[in-house]
């Protein structure tokens, strides 16, 4: 039990570290809190709460991992390194994908409950994001 309590203590210290040092994590936890409060107010059902929870925790987990990767890369290569830049960009991309997923989930669940939006609004957001990736990649390739 002592080992577990020490591990838990270190994990909590990590949570406090990422919250106090990372602006995006603070913003994401604020939105998470608002989403959970809204879920209570709107009396969402079990599956809706699970989808909202999945979206929230996926963003927070990936933001934490992204911070970990950035810190490790800065420690290993304090000077500018193009490969390190790409690694950091990939970590940020993972967070962006998760954040977009959370927007799709929010549009489907909260939009449906509050504004009577059909689920296709979530699909439209997903399609726009995929098109953004494809078109942006094509344009970047033409520039480079």
Task: Provide the percentage of residues in the chain whose pLDDT is more than 70.
Answer: 100
Q: What would the pLDDT profile of 24-55 be if each residue is shown by its tens digit? A: 999 999 999 999 999 999 999 999 999 999 99
Mean pLDDT of 121-142: 96
| CA-based R_g, the chain, Å | 18
The backbone torsions φ and ψ at residue 44, rounded to the nearest 5 degrees and listed phi first, read -65, 155
Sign of the torsion formed by the C-alpha atoms of 21, 22, 28 and 31: positive
The average confidence (pLDDT) of the chain is 97
pLDDT attached to residue 92: 98
Give residue 144's pLDDT.
75
In this predicted model, what pLDDT tens digit does every residue of 43-88 receive, in sequence order?
999 999 999 999 999 999 999 999 999 999 999 999 999 999 999 9
Contacts for 33 with CB less than 8 Å, ≥ 6 apart = none
Among 124, 41, 121, 133, smallest CA distance to 94 is for: 133
Q: Is the pLDDT of residue 11 over 90?
A: yes
CA angle 123, 126, 131 (to 5 degrees): 125
pTM confidence score: 0.94
Which contacts qualify for 135-139: CB closer than 8 Å, 24 or more apart? none
């Amino acid at each position: 039990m002592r080992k577990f309590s020490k591990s838990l203590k270190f994990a909590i210290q990590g949570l406090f570290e990422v919250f106090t040092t990372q602006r995006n994590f603070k913003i994401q936890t604020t939105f998470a809190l608002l989403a959970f409060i809204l879920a209570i107010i709107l009396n969402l059902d079990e599956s809706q709460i699970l989808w909202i929870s999945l979206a929230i925790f996926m963003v927070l987990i990936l933001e934490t991992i992204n911070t970990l990767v950035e810190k490790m890369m800065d420690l290993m290569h304090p000077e500018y390194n193009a490969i390190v830049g790409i690694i950091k960009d990939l970590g940020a991309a993972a967070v962006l994908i998760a954040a977009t997923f959370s927007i799709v989930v929010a549009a489907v669940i909260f939009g449906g409950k509050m504004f009577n939006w059909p689920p296709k609004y979530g699909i439209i957001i997903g399609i726009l994001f995929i098109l953004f990736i494809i078109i942006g990649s094509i344009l970047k390739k033409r520039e480079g």
